[in-house]
A and B are shown apart, each in its own frame.
Chain A
Amino acid sequence: MKPDLRLVALDEKRLRVLLAASGWIALAVTLLPAGWPVRWLPALAFILLGPGLALLLPRPRGERDGARLEMWALAGPMSLSLGVLTATLLLLLEVFSVAAFLIPLALITSVAAYLPGLPLPAALPGAAEPGRRKHADTG
C-alpha cells in the first residue's frame, strides 16, 4: 500500500511544483519573439488549466469514483473564469497589460498550489448518506 501512495503523492507533488511555476513561465516566455510555439504553448496551457488545477489539487485520499474526472472537467472552466475576471477588472481600471494580466493569475496559482484543494463535497471520502430519514420523495 505504501509504495502506491508514495507514487501518487510524488506525481501530485511534481504537478503542484510545476503549477506553482507555470504562471511565471508563461510570463517569462512573453519576452520571446511573438508567435513562437515556445511562447504561446506555455501561455495557453497556463491560462487554460493553471489556476483551476492549482485550486483543485491536491485531492484528498480515497475520493469517490469519478472525482478525478470531475477535477479535470472543472479545471478548464475555473481557470478561464479567473482569466475573464482578471482581464475585465484590469480594463475597467484602465491598467491592462500582459504583465498585469499574467501576474495576478500566476500569484493565485502559486499560492493555491501550496494550499489544499477546494473541497468538492460529493467527492469527499466520507460523503455518504448521513442517516436514514423518512418522508422522502422521488426528486
Chain B
Amino acid sequence: VQESPRRDGQGAPDTPPRDPRRTVGGETMRLPVLGGPTRARTAGRSGTGTDGTADTTAAATTPEHGETMQLRTVPEAAGPAGGTTGGRPPRKGGGGLIPDGLFKGDLLLSWAPLAAAVVLWTVSLPFVGHRTMGDYGLLDRMPFTYYLALITLTGGFLLSLRRAGTAPWWPAAYCVGLLFALKAVPAVLYDAVRYPWASKHDAVINRLLMTGEVSPYTEQAGNMDAYEQWPGFFALNAGMVRAFGVEAAASYVNWAPIVIGLLLMLVLVVIYRTFTEDWRLVWVGVWIFQAANWVGQDYLAPQGFTYLLHLTIIAIVFRNFVLPGSAGPLRDHSNLDPVAAPVPPPTTTRQRALAVAMLVPLIFAINSAHQLTPVMLCVCLGALLFTRRYRNWGLLVTAGSIMLFWDLTMGRPLFMETMGTIKDSLGRLMENSRAGYAGQLTGPGPELAGKANITMVLAVALLAGISLLARRKLIRSALPLGLVSVAPVPLFAVNDYGGEMLFRVYLFGLPGAAFFAAAALVPPAVGGRRAKPRAARGKGLGAKAPAIALPLVLAALVAGFMPSYYGKEKMYYTPPVESAMVTRAIDNAPEGTLVLATTGSFPQALHRYDKVEQWFFAEQELPENEKMLQDPAKYLSDGIPRGVSSAIVILTRTQDIYAAGEGLLPPGGFADLRGKLESSPLFTVVEAHPYGVVLKYTPEKAAERSGGTSR
C-alpha cells in the first residue's frame, strides 16, 4: 500500500485551490480556517454570518496537504453591512453596537438559549437550599428554574450543532455553560469546603507552608505519608496560596472543578479533533464527557490535576508521535469513515526525541504529584505499542524510568509497602473492583446516586458499543483512543486502591468512551465530504433514529448527572460551625493526642496531622460495628493503646450522615453511639451541640468513681 498525501477534494468538487485570504474593502484580511464536514454542505452558499455580516462560504484545498479549508468571506459589494468602506475594515451592524441579524434566524437561535439559561441559572441561585438538605441531597433543593436552565442549555446546544462546522464556538460556549451550570453552584454558594476530605488536602498545604519542607520518610498520622512522598500538587498550591495572599487553599478550593474542567475541555477537543473533522462529533463527545464525569475527581486533589496532565500527554502523543509509513490504508479515504480526520503527519526520530524532551516536565510533574496516574500513563503508552502508528518505545521507557526514579527515591516507603502487599491483592478481581470501604449505600439519596452511577456507566458503555458495530471505520482510525481508554481496566487485577480503583478506571476510560458514544449518536453529516449520496441514504425511521436519540440521550445524561453528583450532597456540605468545633477541639488537644471519630470523612479530620494521631474506628465491616455498638465506651477504651497520654472523641453531624449513607452503621446507630459515650463514665463531654459533640477520654475519673462506689 502506498502512502500519498490527501487527494480528496470531495468537499469542494467545483472549487479550485485558492488563496485563503480575500481582499475586503481594499485590505487583505486573515480569515478563519475551519473544519468539519458541514463546511462542504455550505460550500458556495451565501448567508448571514455569526457576526451579523453577509458571508460567502467557500472551500479551498491547501497546497501542502490537500486539506480542505472553509473560507468565510465578506463579499466585496455587500453594502453597508460588509461592503467596501473606502479602505477601512467594514464596521459591524452598519456602525451600531448591535450587529445586524442578532435577532434573526440562526444567530438568534445560537445565543438566545444560552442567554436564557444564564438568566435562569442565576435567578435560581438564591433559592438553592443547600443548608436544608434532606434525604435527596441537592436534588430536591434545586429550584425549578435550575432544571429549566439545564433543559434550555441542552436545547440550545442541539440547535448550535446544526452550524457546528461553520461556527464551532457556539457549541463550545454551550459546553462551557454546561460545566458552569452543573458544577459552579457549590463554588458560588457554599460557605464551606465541598467534600469533607478536601479539607485534608488543605491540611497538607498548611503543613507545607508552616514547616517549609516535605518529609517523605517521616511517618505521619492518618496515613498521610503518601502526601509527603508525592507532594507536587500540594507544593504548587502552597505557592498559589502565598501568591494570591489568601489564608488557605480553602478560599478557592470549590472553584477547582471549573478551572480543571475548562483546561480539560481544551485538551479533549485536541484529542477528538485528531480523530474526526466533524465538530458536531467533537462537541457531543465533550458534552457526554462532562455529563458522565460524575466521579467527583475534579476537586482540588492530585488525581484531578494529574488527570489533566495525563490527557495532555496523550493528546501530544496522538498528534506528534506518528511513525513514518505507519498509517498505511488509513491514508486512503475509501478506508476512512466519512468524518474521520486524516492521520496526523509522521515525525522523524529527531522530532519525536525533541517532543519526548518537551514532555519530561509534564511526566515529572505527574510523578511528583500522584502515585496512580504514572502507572495509568505507562499502561496507556504501553497499550499504544500495539499500534504501529504510535509504537514509541522511547517515550514509554522515559515515562517508566521517571516513575521508577520517583518511586525508589521520594516514594520509596509507600512503594515498598505496596510491593509487599501486592501479591495478596493480585488477581482478587472482585475485592479490587468494589466501591468504597465496606458498607452498602443506605438512604434514598445515596441509593438513588448508586443506581444513577451504574445506569450512567452502562448507558455510555452501551452507546460506545453501538458505535463499535455501526462506525467500524471510525473505530479503526480512532483505535489508539480506544486502546488508551481500555488499557487501565486490567488494573483491577492488581490493586483495589482503597476501594477507589473502580472509579479511577472509569475516569481514565471516559474520554474514549464519550467519543465513541458520541459517534453512535452523530451520524456523518448530510453532504459530508465522504458521505453517501442522498439517494443511497435511508429515509425511514432508521435514518431518523439518531435525530431522535441525540436530544433524548443528551438530556438523559444531564439528568443522570444530577443524582450521581448531587444525590449524596448532604455528606459533602458541612456548615462552618461544625468545622469550627472540630478545629477548636484539635487545636486545644495537646501534642500526641489520639483523635477518635467514626470516619475520617468530616472537615478538618486531619487538622494538625503532624501533631496528633487519628483512629477512625467505624471504618470497618458492619458486623464489627454492630458489636462495637453494644458497649462503645468499652470498645474504644480497649482499643486506645497504652501509653497514649490524651484521647478525645469527635462526633459530628457529617460523620453521622456519611456513616449512615455508606452503610457503616445501622439506622440509629450513630445516635445510639453518641448517647452511650456521653453517659459513660469513661468519657467527659467537653462541648456538645446539635451538630456534634467533643468528649475527652477520662479513665482516671471512671476509676475514681468506681473506687468511690466500691468504698
User: Which residues does A use to contact B, with CB under 8 Å?
Assistant: 1-4, 7-8, 26, 30, 32-36, 39-40, 43-44, 47-48, 62, 64-66, 69-70, 72-74, 76-78, 80-88, 90-92, 94-98, 101-102, 118-123, 125-139
Contacts and interface: CB of A to CB of B under 8 A. Distances in A.
B611 to A, nearest CB: 19
B245 A36 contact: yes
B290 interface: no
A70 B314 CA distance: 12
Interface in B226-273: 231-233, 235-236, 238-240, 242-247, 251, 259, 263, 266-267, 269-270, 273
B309 A81 contact: yes
Contacts of B69: 65
User: 3 closest A-B pairs (Cβ-Cβ)?
Assistant: A136-B328, A34-B245, A139-B389
Given A88-B231, A91-B214, A130-B324, A8 B30 contact: yes
A64 B342 CA distance: 12
A121 B320 contact: yes
B115 interface: no
B476 to A, nearest CB: 6
Nearest to B364: A85
Given A134-B2, A135-B325, A97 B242 contact: yes
B239 to A, nearest CB: 4
B235 A84 contact: yes
Contacts, number: 233
B58 interface: no
A65 B244 contact: no
Contacts of B301: none
Contact of B243 (A26, A88, A130): A26
Contact of B3 (A8, A26, A132): A132
Given A101-B239, A136-B326, A81 B364 contact: yes
Contacts of A82: 361, 365
B319 interface: yes
Given A69-B270, A81-B309, A98-B239, A64 B65 contact: yes
Interface of B: 1-5, 21, 27-30, 33, 35, 64-65, 67, 69, 208, 212-214, 231-233, 235-236, 238-240, 242-247, 251, 259, 263, 266-267, 269-270, 273, 305, 308-309, 312, 315-316, 319-320, 322, 324-331, 343-348, 351-352, 354-355, 358, 361-362, 364-365, 368-369, 387-390, 476, 479-480
A63 to B, nearest CB: 10
Given A40-B244, A83-B236, A133 B319 contact: no
Nearest to B240: A47
Contact of B362 (A33, A69, A81): A81
A112 to B, nearest CB: 12
Contact of A76 (B266, B364, B479, B480): B266
A125 B324 CA distance: 17
22 contacts: A1-B28, A34-B247, A69-B270, A73-B263, A77-B309, A82-B361, A85-B232, A85-B361, A96-B238, A98-B239, A98-B243, A102-B243, A119-B351, A120-B316, A121-B348, A125-B64, A129-B5, A129-B345, A132-B2, A136-B328, A137-B388, A139-B387
Contact of A134 (B1, B322, B331, B352): B1
B213 A94 contact: yes
B476 A88 contact: no
Nearest to B241: A98
A139 B332 CA distance: 13
Contacts of A102: 239, 243
Nearest to B270: A73
Contacts of B21: 1, 4
Contact of B325 (A2, A120, A136): A136
A133 B354 contact: no
A35 B246 contact: yes
B329 A136 contact: yes
Contact of A30 (B245, B331, B351, B354): B245
Contact of A122 (B208, B231, B320, B389): B320
A121 B351 contact: yes
A103 B124 CA distance: 44
Given A82-B361, A91-B213, A128-B64, 20 more contacts: A1-B21, A40-B243, A47-B240, A73-B312, A84-B232, A84-B236, A87-B232, A88-B235, A120-B316, A128-B345, A130-B346, A131-B3, A133-B2, A133-B3, A133-B325, A134-B1, A136-B388, A137-B328, A139-B328, A139-B330
Nearest to B355: A121
A116 B582 CA distance: 53
Contacts of B238: 87, 91, 96
Contacts of A76: 263, 266, 308
A10 B246 CA distance: 36
Contacts of B476: 138
Given A80-B365, A138-B329, A127 B245 contact: no
B325 A35 contact: no
B9 to A, nearest CB: 16
B245 A65 contact: no
Contacts of B369: 84
A132 B1 CA distance: 9
Given A121-B352, A137-B326, A91 B312 contact: no
B327 A128 contact: no
A73 B238 CA distance: 24
B239 A86 contact: yes
B368 A88 contact: yes
A136 B479 CA distance: 16
A122 B153 CA distance: 35
A119 B345 contact: no
A138 B240 contact: no
A98 B327 contact: no
Contact of A3 (B27, B65, B348, B387): B27
B346 A65 contact: no
Contacts of B239: 47, 83, 86-87, 96, 98, 101-102
Contacts of A87: 232, 235-236, 238-239
A138 B351 contact: no
A105 to B, nearest CB: 9
A101 B243 contact: yes
A35 to B, nearest CB: 6
A34 B240 CA distance: 12
B170 to A, nearest CB: 16
